[in-house]
Amino acid sequence: MTATAAPHAPARSRGAEIGLWTLQVLLALMFVVASGAPKLFGEAYAVQLFTDLGAGQWLRYVVGVLEIAGGIGLLVPRLTRLAAVCLIALMVGATVAQLFFLSEGFWYTPVILGVLLAVVAWSRGPASVRA
């Protein structure tokens, strides 16, 4: 039985790899500390936001858990792409909520985060998975 070598990603420069990891860490911090934790701890703005949304506070907890899990996943090499793709889906939902269900909001924030997450997902695609 012969083993075939797994395809390897094209070599990135050290600076590009450092930049990508920096982006991942900053996104992870944003989702865990600045976004997910306030939702779980009941920060007043988060409570009001989900009240205005009309979906109930259960959704605040679900989104908070998903954001924290995704943020942690961005730091685990084998989970990075999956976490980024799942967080992109969450940002699509946040953009829709901001545009169509909330009277005030910064709809461009989830769009910008989604674009940055897309960069991570694309950069950490299947060719970059190493055994």
* Residue spans per domain, the chain: 15-124
State whether residue 60 is helix, strand or coil. Answer: helix
- Alpha carbons 44 and 25: distance in angstroms, whole number: 26
In angstroms, rounded to a whole number, what is the distance separating the alpha carbons of residues 68 and 125? 22
Contact by Cβ (8 Å): 122, 80: no
Q: What is the pLDDT of residues 49-99, one digit of tens each?
A: 999 999 889 999 999 999 999 999 999 999 999 999 999 999 999 999 999
| Confidence at residue 10, expressed as pLDDT on a 0 to 100 scale | 59
Taking only the tens place, the pLDDT of each residue in 3-38 is: 554 455 557 899 999 999 999 999 999 999 999 999
